[in-house]
Amino acid sequence: MNSSVSIAGKGIISAIGKNVPETLEALENSHAGIGKMNWLNSAHAAKLPVAEVNFSNKELADMAGMPVSTSRTALLSMIAAKEAILEAGIPDFSSWRTGFVSANTVGGMDKTEQFYSEFVNSPQSGKLRNVVNHECGSVTSLVADRLDVRHHVSTISTACSSSANAIFFGAKLIKHNFLDIVIAGGTDSLTRFTLNGFNTLMILDNEYCKPFDENRKGLNLGEGAGYIVLVSDRVTSTLPRKPVCALTGYHNANDAYHQTASSPEGTGSFLAMKGALEKSGLAGADIDYINLHGTGTHNNDISEGTAIKLLFQPPYPKMSSTKTFTGHTLGASGGIEAVFSILALEHGIVYPNLRLHDPMKELPFVPERNFLKNQKLRHVLSNSFGFGGNCSSLIFSKT
């Protein structure tokens, strides 16, 4: 019950790279993945920038080793999960009690939209196989079957906190001795349904997003997947190399302020970060870097910033929003940013908050605007806050 949970591997695909090495290079060179829509067929293509994974479904299917008829959400999931398992290099992988805890918010909606477009023109058109795997759990099951994970498979869908919740649920399964290994994280693909929904809320920026800027106007949507391999002490002892870090803190809170907004006072954000610190046994002064949720909306940035101002004291930790690189990947964001947090610890780096020109006047701190090397990082906090005030924070610590 008191055993530690180490990170043995990580995998990622997003608008800035199809794997960890490409992602790290993009981060080091401040190469954002936001741009014009190429793959999503939308009426808003000319005016709303997004952060798409720069591959067709056919190319993704080849990379994933899955049929091209598979939803884009599942293809992204498979690619990142396979990379995480490969990096983990766990001897006799199949002999351990293994779970797959994956998050998403969109399921197979891309295929459903394809079916509907054909069906609405003619009831005799449209392939029913495109709607069979519509719901979120089907995406997880498709990938778990390919990975041959049998002991535990579950899906979490709590909006933008989904994959952060998947990660700490996976950690709890290990700590309570239900499993030895958990591949945890999340995936989401861009769909017209999602884009139109966010556009209706009037929180999309028609320029590249600039979180924590006084003149911020909203977020850019993105897609991708990020997974980490959580392992027990018993598995860690068999690994060919010692894990660089462990998951030491996690907490979920809900301010229940509004269906699609966080409380201006940052109640949920504050409770999530405070709970994660208490779980880890750390104080605010021990955190060296905060990967901000940082969407770029007026509501999120003042809410998250206010919570940080209440919980931390000067000198504040270095912090930045990496959504300036990947866009907001929704259910995948917690998994993708967990990978970013681990990379920060491994390489002693801090990422820039791109396009930050006029820092918010209400806050006593300014997110980092430059890429920093040779940083002495011991503890990194990563925030993921979702609709309905569902707020989660993770703490990764160097081992």
- Kindly name the residue from 209, 245, 251, 293 that is annotated as catalytic: 293
What is residue 254's predicted lDDT score, i.e. its pLDDT?
86
Residue 2 pLDDT > 60: no
Instruction: Kindly report, residue by residue over 4-21, the tens digit of the pLDDT.
Output: 799 999 999 999 999 999
Please tell me whether residue 224 adopts helix, strand or coil conformation. strand
User: Where do the structural domains in the chain lie, given as residue ranges?
Assistant: 6-236, 247-398
Locate all alpha helices (DSSP H) within the chain, ordered by sequence: 20-28, 57-64, 72-88, 109-121, 129-132, 136-147, 162-175, 192-200, 233-236, 267-280, 298-311, 323-326, 333-347
Average pLDDT, the chain: 95
pLDDT at 26: 98
Q: How confident is the model at residue 263 (pLDDT cuts 50, 70, 90)?
A: confident
Q: Above 90 in pLDDT, residue 255?
A: no
Q: Do 61 and 189 touch, CB atoms closer than 8 A?
A: no
pLDDT at 223: 98
Asked whether residue 150 carries a pLDDT value surpassing 50, the answer given is yes
| 347 counts as catalytic | no
What letter would DSSP give residue 139? H
Listed range (114-123, 270-279, 283-292) with the worst mean pLDDT: 114-123
Q: Which residues contact 324 (CB under 8 A, 6 or more apart)?
A: 32, 34, 208, 209, 210, 211, 294, 296, 352, 353, 354, 355
Q: Is the predicted pLDDT of residue 127 greater than 90, yes or no?
A: no
Same fold yes or no, 6-236 and 247-398? yes
- The pLDDT, as a whole number, for residue 1 is 43
Burial code (b: 16+ CB inside 10 Å, e: under 16) for 339-358 equals: bbbbbbbbbebbbbbbbbee
In sequence order, the 6+-apart residues with CB closer than 8 A to the CB of 281 are: 248
- Alpha carbon distance 382, 290 (integer Å): 6
> Of the listed 160, 209, 245, 391, which one is catalytic?
160
Query: What's the confidence (pLDDT) of residue 126?
Result: 79
CA distance 311 to 272: 11
Mean pLDDT throughout 25-47? Answer: 96
Provide the pLDDT for residue 128.
Answer: 81
Average pLDDT over residues 289-300: 97
Its sign, for the CA torsion 199, 294, 160, 55, is positive
pLDDT at 46 over 50: yes
What's the Rg (C-alpha) of the chain?
A: 20
Give the domain 6-236 fold: Peroxisomal Thiolase; Chain A, domain 1 (3.40.47)
- 352/28 Cα distance (integer angstroms): 9
Q: How confident is the model at residue 3, as a pLDDT? A: 66
Is residue 230 over pLDDT 60?
yes
Instruction: Find the mean pLDDT for residues 181-191.
Output: 98
Contact present, 378 and 224 (Cβ < 8 Å)? no
Domain 247-398 belongs to what architecture?
A: 3-Layer(aba) Sandwich (3.40)
Can you count the helices (H) and strands (E) in the chain?
Answer: 13, 10
Q: Is 328 a catalytic residue?
A: yes
Catalytic residue among 251, 328, 379, 391: 328
Query: 299-354, pLDDT tens digit by residue?
Result: 999 999 999 999 999 999 999 999 999 999 999 999 999 999 999 999 999 999 99
pTM of the predicted protein model: 0.97
